[in-house]
Amino acid sequence: MVTPDEQRALQLENAKADLTLWSGLRDVDASTISNRENLIAAASTQLAEAKERVAAADESAKTVQARIEAIERGETVQGGFGKPIDVAAFLKSIGWTNANIRHAQLLGRYLPEEHLHEFVEETMRLASKGERRRARQALRTILAKYSEGAE
């Protein structure tokens, strides 16, 4: 027969295990929320910057289109005698690297526009897998670091 003290000891042991489980789940989800909030904030900033660039590019495109139309009508227009914009230099000025530029060129050359959305989804899926792989590698590194020190 189990004594009341043994019952309480088992209940305490089980309650501590439950606390470990639920506290761990809470902490993991809280960390996930924090990381995703940071990601959303960074993405929101990047999105706002991209929208500003789109608006500025749209205005420039409209101005150039109007100039083209005026030239085609035989009108005299101001400017247009300088060198064309160096696209690579422009992209670098807004933070692109040579690797970003090469990547964009390859995508433009080989990826049909109608498949771009699917490409982005697959890229995001693979990035998620990569994040888990990197997290496991980080865990192995940390565990190895501290298990070496324990020896």
Task: With a cut of 90, say whether residue 51 has pLDDT above it.
Answer: yes
The Cα 19–Cα 31 span in angstroms is 18
The pLDDT value given to residue 149: 56
pLDDT at 150 (0 to 100): 53
**Angle 16-21-23 from CA coordinates, rounded to 5°:** 90
pTM for the complete prediction?
Answer: 0.54
pLDDT tens per residue across span 6-50: 999 999 999 999 999 999 999 999 998 998 999 899 999 999 999
Q: How many helices (H) and strands (E) does the chain have?
A: 4, 0
Residue 114 backbone phi and psi in degrees, to 5: -65, -10
Tens-digit pLDDT profile for residues 60-116: 999 999 999 999 999 999 888 889 999 999 999 989 999 999 999 998 899 888 998
